[in-house]
Amino acid sequence: MRAVEDECATPVRLWKRPKAGERLKLVLLIRSLAAGGAERQLVSLAKALDKKVFDITVVCLYGGGPFEEDLRSAGVPVISLGKKGRWELFGFLKRLIAALRKLQPDILHSYMSGQNVLAVLLKPALPGTRIVWGVRASNVRLRDWLDKLSFRLEVMLSRFADLIVFNSAAGRDYHLSAGFAASRTEVIPNGVDPRFFACEPKSRSILRAEWKIPEDSFVIGIVGRLNPMKDHWTFLRAAVIFAGRRPDARFVCIGNGPAKYLQDLRSFTDQPALTDKVVWHPFLDDMPAAYKALDICCSSSAYGEGTPNCVIEAMACGVPCVVTDVGDSRLIVNDLGIVVPPKNPEALADAWATMARQITDKPYLRVLLQESVASRFSVSSLATKTTHALLYA
């Protein structure tokens, strides 16, 4: 514990000082461990936190998901509550309360809206537990009545959280303007392990061959779940414009999503300008290889982003990014990327052309991108900042 105190520059008291040889019991609560940005960050954090300080358990509402085995292999226990669909409430709540009472956590750190509401509502049943919220979005678009209700509940209940952790400054500012309690908030950006993204360059050729993309093509990719927030429509409309300028251009869309939405997007590419030029692929186990198969990584999000993982991960691979001015994307790319307004395919295509020239003119760009991530967005920095917030804020 002394090592943690020495790392913290702010001279404040520990929130709770464990007895000699005792660790703080930390429960991370999330909907599921399916492939996704928030899930990946939870796993990275759980693996990186100092196990001499925290006794960590992950509790998820729904079982399965590719990250569950990742956590178990790292020695982090996972409890799945086996929720039986959206509307199973009483049986599920009974199992959740029983699990938390058995664990007796010192800190319950929830991830995202529904779990944040749950955590605060459970506070009377866990009087000795500190409730920490994790907010991952910025300007939220509320799709249906349940989303709207959940957000209103978050706003009303935010004053009962002991700490609210945002992964972006944009997310903090938006939620405070919407009525979130202003006290006890922290901004902790996402983090990645630069070593994980240092894959062999040969993987670039292997994946391009699998995608049937010629090695000398200029490849632009978008990485993210198939969701209106990510605005694949603007990406594809920009692809039509850019393909008209560069016959060697190819486009890769990596991510999972509803079959109907994917079908609609793919139907748009059935036009002469994009024939045989767009590849669709679900998330890969080897994401470093996927990023390194790209010349440019694009985040075309229209709203909702906090700290987009794909941008940090691509930069960690030395791949330059063109992003829309949503969330903290501008802060992440800084002067090493290009920022355009959302929902503007012409501006996006122009930015791709500008970045293509910069790649040629700046052979050192790849190294600068990797150094930027290592210094600002490492998983060790995520763990250190989170530890400081959980113990001191």
**Parallel, antiparallel or unpaired: strands 54-60 and 249-254:** unpaired
**Percent of residues, the chain, with pLDDT higher than 70:** 93
- Return the higher-pLDDT residue of 7 and 378: 378
Domain 202-376: CATH class, spelled out: alpha beta
d(CA 356, CA 253): 19
d(CA 143, CA 44): 29
Q: Which two tokens stand for residue 277?
A: 């030029």
344 alpha carbon, distance to own chain's centre? 24
d(CA 67, CA 71): 6
d(CA 336, CA 188): 21
Q: What is the mean pLDDT of the chain?
A: 89
pLDDT of residue 4: 40
Closest CA to 185 of 139, 135, 140: 135
152 alpha carbon, distance to own chain's centre? 23
Three-state DSSP class for residue 67:
helix
Query: Which of the residue ranges 47-61, 146-160, 319-333, 334-348 would you say has the lowest mean pLDDT?
Result: 146-160
Three-state DSSP class for residue 334:
helix
**Percent of residues, the chain, with pLDDT higher than 90:** 69
- Tokens 């709540």, residue? 93
Q: What are the helix (H) ranges across the chain? A: 2-7, 37-48, 66-73, 90-103, 113-121, 145-157, 169-177, 202-210, 232-245, 259-268, 287-292, 309-316, 329-333, 345-361, 365-376, 379-392
Q: Which two tokens stand for residue 301?
A: 């999000």
β-bridge mates for residue 132, sequence order:
109, 163
Query: Which of the residue ranges 6-20, 150-164, 256-270, 370-384 would you say has the lowest mean pLDDT?
Result: 6-20
If one counts every other C-beta atom within 10 angstroms of the C-beta of residue 125, the result is 12
| DSSP class per residue in 176-223 | HHTT---SSEEE----B-TTTT---THHHHHHHHHTT--TTSEEEEEE
Residues whose CB is less than 8 angstroms from the CB of residue 332 and which lie 6 or more positions away in sequence, other chains included: 189, 307, 308, 311, 312, 315, 321, 323, 377
Where along the chain do the CATH 3.40.50.2000 domains lie? 2-191+378-392, 202-376
Question: Model's pTM, two decimal places?
Answer: 0.84
Alpha-carbon separation of residue 293 from 202, 237, 252, 283, 327 (angstroms): 9, 22, 10, 14, 26
Q: What's domain 2-191+378-392's architecture?
A: 3-Layer(aba) Sandwich (3.40)
DSSP secondary structure code for residue 273 in this structure:
G
pLDDT digits (tens, 9 = 90+) for 129-164: 999 999 988 877 777 787 788 888 899 999 999 999
Sign of the dihedral defined by the CA atoms of residues 239, 286, 82, 131, in that order: negative
Class of residue 128 by CB neighbours under 10 A (exposed 0-12, middle 13-18, buried 19+): exposed
- Tokens 């992964």, residue? 167
d(CA 340, CA 348): 6
pLDDT of residue 10: 40
